[in-house]
Amino acid sequence: MGVNKNYEWPDNYGNPDWFIEDRYGLFLHFGLFSAAARHEWVMTLEQIGTEGYQKYFDYFNPDLFDAKSWARSAKKAGFKYAVLTAKHHEGFALWDTKLSDYKITNTAFGRDLVGEYIEAFRAEGLKVGLYFSLIDWKHPDFLVDGYHPERNNEEYIQNHPGNMDEYTKFMHGQVRELLSGYGKIDYLWFDFSYANRDWGDSVGKGKEDWKSEELESMILSLQPDIILNDRLDLGRGVGTPEQYQRNTRMEKGKKQLVWEACQTLNGSWGYDRDNLDWKTPEMVTKLLIDTVSKGGNMLLNIGPNARGEWDSKTNEIINQVGEWMRLHQESVYGCGASEFFAPADARFTQKGNHLYLHLFSWPYRTLLVPKLGGKVLYARLLNDSSEIKYIQEEGLSEKRKSHKDLNAEVTEIHIKDKFEDHSLMVTLPVQRPDVIVPVIEFILKD
């Protein structure tokens, strides 16, 4: 029994079942910004511009890049799919595009990194996604707006009046290359539309500027099974809340929406050497659980360094989350939001008649779960598969007859107060299991 399939999803898009089942994806932000090593928006945050940015191209050489090692690490850490920045806003292509010279095969590195990534991740059995920036600060026809690095450079603006028809031809052409040159692509992640922005002397860009409808038709004709995110400004595709955690599920009427929380390890997406604002493995694990409990996926980002390696702090975090996943993956993969309401400081996920209670804090000995009384067949901790005892309504009179010990009497006093609302009373060990977040699995009656 899998996840609830009652999702709102466009008929002409591919089947999102694999995506909803997988739940945990790896976002990889890599590009020339990895060499600057101070945020992937550095080109515009510091208004560096095309000329000033050239040095990152000239000295780019991720000599330690090993796609197989990335793929193995991703798999081991529990990720089921990955999304790599084929091109970020800076306009630098990580594949051998025929439409521009601004590409990785023209650097000292000289290889097609996108191709190597796709092959290696596929070989590990991971689903393969590509991120593609709709924004391109390198392309001469891209109309300068308030996000552009040359926004205050009058000379550049004079010489580059913008020709978005030419730009979209180029941009659609690059997307075509990515979707025709590398076999099946499972997920295409566009970034981003900002039609509502108004800087006074310029405005943002949206579906008219990108010719999104046309782009979407081309994509679906090349890759009919592909999943798309929601940033083409067409109001469809995977919802992608970025760097914030939702309070609720995403629903439309009685149907759930397909969505993915995109989270960073330290607030930046690209490698950001001096940024020490790391989330702890516990925070990341809780973000993942919280997301799945609301029916979403989590796409967790890492920013490899300019030599093509993952730094030690990144490895430490994802490996610790991976160790938690090794023991608790059943409560994530194929799971979704539960019909039951979790007690304070806990989260439910559910997969058919398996209900998983994630305890963010460890209560002392007893825990009451509302509405679950009479519904449970068996309960255990996931980390060591040890039985967890509980009392539920139907067993109450029997319990009264057979148990004469003091604990049972104490328990009964609670029961008298609490059982009216069909609670389940769970008895926990005093010792909290030595895992980031303990999980109790309840097997429910059908």
Which of 32, 359 has the CB closer to ligand H79?
Answer: 32
Q: Does 41 bind ligand H79 (CB under 6 A)?
A: yes
In the bound complex, what is the minimum distance in angstroms from residue 299's beta carbon to ligand H79? 9
Residue of 22, 40, 216, 290 interacting with ligand H79 (CB under 6 A): 40
Which of 45, 64 has the CB closer to ligand H79?
Answer: 45
Q: Does 30 bind ligand H79 (CB under 6 A)?
A: no
Count of residues interacting with ligand H79 (CB under 6 A): 8
d(CA 39, CA 24): 24
Question: What strands, in cross-sheet order, belong to the sheet with 366-369?
Answer: 366-369, 424-427, 389-392
In the bound complex, what is the minimum distance in angstroms from residue 264's beta carbon to ligand H79? 8
Q: Looking at 79-144, which runs of residues are DSSP E strands?
A: 81-87, 127-133
Which of 21, 46 has the CB closer to ligand H79?
Answer: 46
Is the distance from CB of 123 to CB of 103 less than 8 angstroms? no
Which of 89, 328 has the CB closer to ligand H79?
Answer: 89
Q: Which of 356, 423, 436, 352 is nearest to 390 (CA)?
A: 423
Q: Which two tokens stand for residue 414?
A: 């609670």
In the bound complex, what is the minimum distance in angstroms from residue 157's beta carbon to ligand H79? 20
Q: Within 13 Å of residue 413, how many CA atoms lie on the same side as its CB?
A: 4
Which of 242, 311 has the CB closer to ligand H79?
Answer: 242
Q: Which two tokens stand for residue 394?
A: 């139907």
Task: Restricting to residues 156-195, name those near ligand H79 by CB under 6 A.
Answer: 191-192
- CB contact set of 363 (below 8 Å; sequence gap of 6+): 428
* Contact stretch for ligand H79 (CB under 6 A) within 39-47, 102-110, 342-350, 429-437: 39-47
Give the number of other Cβ atoms within 10 Å of residue 309's Cβ: 18
d(CA 82, CA 126): 7
Residue of 262, 300, 346, 391 interacting with ligand H79 (CB under 6 A): 262
Task: Restricting to residues 276-335, name those near ligand H79 by CB under 6 A.
Answer: none
Q: Which helix (H) or strand (E) holds 414?
A: helix 406-418
Q: Does 390 bind ligand H79 (CB under 6 A)?
A: no
Residue of 53, 259, 269, 271 interacting with ligand H79 (CB under 6 A): 269
Task: Restricting to residues 231-260, name those near ligand H79 by CB under 6 A.
Answer: 242
The answer to whether the peptide bond before residue 341 is cis (omega within 30 degrees of 0) is no
> Where along the sequence are the contacts to ligand H79 (CB under 6 A)?
40-41, 45, 191-192, 242, 262, 269
